[in-house]
Amino acid sequence: MSESAPDSGDSEPRVRRRIGTRLALVCAGAAVALGAGALLLLEPVERATVARVASDQIGLLAEAVAATYQVTPPKPSGVQPDDGEEPAPAPPERAHRAEEILAQLTHAESVEWIDVLDHEGRVQRSTRPGRVGVQRAVPRRMRDASVVDEELVVSYAMPFTHACQQCHAGQHDPVGVVQVAVARQVAQSAFTRFHVLYGGSLVVAFGVLAVLVFFATNRMVARPVARLARLMRRAQQGDFLVRARVEGNDELGDLAIAFNQMLRAITNLKASEIEREGALKSAQAQVAMKKQLEDAAERLQLSNTALQRRVQGQSLLMEAAHRLGSTLDKGALVERLARLVADNLGRSDFAVWLVRENEHGEPVLQVGYAAGALDRADLAAASFAVGEGVVGLVAETGAPVLVNDLADPPQHVRELRGKQLPIATGSLLCAPMLHKGRVVGVLTFYAAGARSFDSDDVALLQALGAQAAMAVVNADLYQQTLELSVTDPLTGLMNRRALNRILDAELVRAQRFTTPLVVLMLDVDHFKQYNDRLGHLLGDEALRSVAQALATSIRKVDAVARFGGEEFCVVLPRTDEAAGIDVADKLLRAVRALPVPGAESQPLGQLSISVGLAVYPDDMPPAIEGSPVEVLLDTADKAAYEAKQRGRDRVVLAADLSGRKRRPKLDEPSRPEKVKLPS
């Protein structure tokens, strides 16, 4: 495995620079620290030595100046005394050369000033005339050195000698002091030059040492370490065949040998690992292949089972479409649905809930069919409002609900309001009978064991519910169509078509059993005025009120229908003329008592009707042309017209128009004549 060029080109210089620079900086820093420490330790000694040397040198100068103060022996005069006595000694001559020396030292660059003090410390002579007469302290030692105002001042006290008696009357010790002042910087200039040279030498030495350490480190340490680091990086990347070069028997050589041994051990381990991994992968591949085959067989079995269930489901749905679609009777439809479930699904515990209206006109769910564990009296008598219980929840949402365990139902089922199904254990599946977004019923399936239904059951029963819902809707539409064909949409009474059919049947029955039949034709008085005055909406409401009053004032066997407009017709089977008059009077009173808005403004002060009464067979003509129904209705209508002509709000008999005498009641001996109806 070869190393890339950027890696080999960048890593080695970077390692060398780091190690060499660090070692060079460490060595240089240590040398600087040692040099600085030595300088700090030796500086006080050097300063003291320099000060001492300078004091000695300046002291010699002061002694030289003091030495100029001496007495020179007198010279002989060469004159002999007259008396033969020895000549008197000549007085000593003063040979002080202090002024000459001071004059010469006045212009010395290194000397700041020279003062000559008497025994009292007063400056007698000085290289600076301005200092003459200044009182100074007399030093106690013969030679004293001190620093005053950055000046090194050396004092030399001149002791009192025998020679001093010739010039000084009093004996004072010292007889005088010579003070020489030199600038401290000048005195220590040699020390400063020494330090500059010493510091420069140290810097040069340390720089050379750092460079030597840097290059030596790079050559002897950094470069081999960099090569070893590069090889380690290649080994880290997986190239265990590389080997480090052993260049000596030092620590780096030992490190290279150990690294090579480690790589050989790793190579052997890697080879063994590769062999084991190959064997393991082969075994894993065989196990995986076996597992895949088992999984494929299991999936195939599950697919076959699911396919069979789907085929059965499709067969069930096709049979449901055929059976349920072949009847329009809701009762027969529910029974066929129950047989389908029992024969094809093998589930005997189920119920069919249908949406119906209660006495308040509200939709509720009631059992249309139940079997097995759900065929219970409490369920048959129960009714669930939409949204109440599990059944009501399905009717409200239109979505199926699956409860896998009734003993531990889901949270949303436990929180349902209202009544619940009286079953505490097992599993429950409720599927909506949904058609175009409207729920017309709910299919409920129960199983004694928990988790007896799966998602396929939910989908199948949901599809079956849709098929059943379509059949129920078709049956309802058929029933509604039948009702619309015989029902007046405004009043809810029978229409004229239904009236003709019922009247025809009743005429046949009256002829067969020789019983009378009364037909009442009613017309609402002044209804056009009512409509024009109060509007059609109130007019329609008035007609509905009249229809309700008529329907509630007759027997169950009687029939009332809206004939057209404001006209109504009442058929009274097995009723003679007198009984018909009683019924007509009852209807008159019922209409008069209606609290219809605006009835008091009618011409008669109330809502009223005009009634025409015709009796079968008494009012039938001897020769009938056309339908007996039409003849009887026409006869009653003419009597109603006559009632209007006579002032309205009354009953007029067809017998009054034809001049026929009234017939006795049914309990009287006489019996009505039989009239032959045309076939």
Q: What is the DSSP string of 213-248?
A: HHHHHIIIIIHHHHHHHHHHHHHHTT-TT-------
> Which residues, 6+ apart, have CB-to-CB distance to 551 below 8 Å?
493, 560
Domain 1-71+96-242: assigned CATH number: 3.30.450.20
pLDDT at 1 over 60: no
What is the average per-residue pLDDT within 325-345?
77
Residue 85's pLDDT band (cuts 50, 70, 90)? low
User: Residue 603, preceding bond cis, omega within 30 degrees?
Assistant: no
pLDDT at 12 over 50: no
At residue 16, the pLDDT reads 46
Q: Tell me whether strands 111-118 and 438-447 are parallel, antiparallel or unpaired.
A: unpaired
Residue 3's pLDDT band (cuts 50, 70, 90)? very low
Residue 668's pLDDT band (cuts 50, 70, 90)? very low
Residue 125's pLDDT band (cuts 50, 70, 90)? confident
Give the tens place of pLDDT for each residue, 292-327: 999 899 888 888 877 777 777 777 777 777 777 777
**Count of C-beta atoms within a 10 Å radius of residue 106:** 14
Domain 327-476: assigned CATH number: 3.30.450.40
At residue 323, the pLDDT reads 73
| Torsion (CA) 416, 422, 426, 428 in degrees, nearest 10 | -50
Select the more confidently predicted residue: 400 or 324. Answer: 400
At residue 84, the pLDDT reads 53
Give the tens place of pLDDT for each residue, 526-565: 999 999 999 999 999 999 999 999 999 999 999 999 998 9
| Distance separating alpha carbons of residues 596 and 605, to the nearest angstrom | 12
Predicted model pTM: 0.40
At residue 163, the pLDDT reads 61
**209 backbone dihedrals φ, ψ, rounded to 5°:** -65, -45
Continuous segment of H or E residues that includes residue 36: helix 5-67
User: Residue 617, preceding bond cis, omega within 30 degrees?
Assistant: yes
At residue 557, the pLDDT reads 93
What is the average per-residue pLDDT within 265-278?
85
Same fold, 327-476 and 487-658: no
Which two three-digit tokens encode residue 565?
Answer: 């407009």
| Distance separating alpha carbons of residues 353 and 226, to the nearest angstrom | 88
Continuous segment of H or E residues that includes residue 500: helix 496-513
What is the average per-residue pLDDT within 651-664?
81
What is the average per-residue pLDDT within 190-198?
71
Residue 637's pLDDT band (cuts 50, 70, 90)? very high
Answer whether 349's CB lies under 8 Å from 338's CB: no
At residue 38, the pLDDT reads 75
Residue 679's pLDDT band (cuts 50, 70, 90)? very low
At residue 393, the pLDDT reads 87
Domain coordinates in residue numbering, the chain: 1-71+96-242, 327-476, 487-658
Residue 678's pLDDT band (cuts 50, 70, 90)? very low
Q: Which own/partner pairs from 164-168 qualify as long-range (CB within 8 Å, at least 24 positions apart)?
A: 166/71, 166/92, 167/71, 167/94
Closest CA to 312 of 349, 340, 337: 340
Burial class (CB in 10 A: 0-12, 13-18, 19+), 44: exposed
The CATH fold assigned to 487-658 is: Alpha-Beta Plaits (3.30.70)
Answer whether 419's CB lies under 8 Å from 389's CB: yes
Residue 10's pLDDT band (cuts 50, 70, 90)? very low
Instruction: Round the average pLDDT of the chain to a whole number and report it.
Output: 79
At residue 162, the pLDDT reads 62
Find the range with the poorest average confidence among 8-17, 316-325, 486-495, 503-512. Answer: 8-17
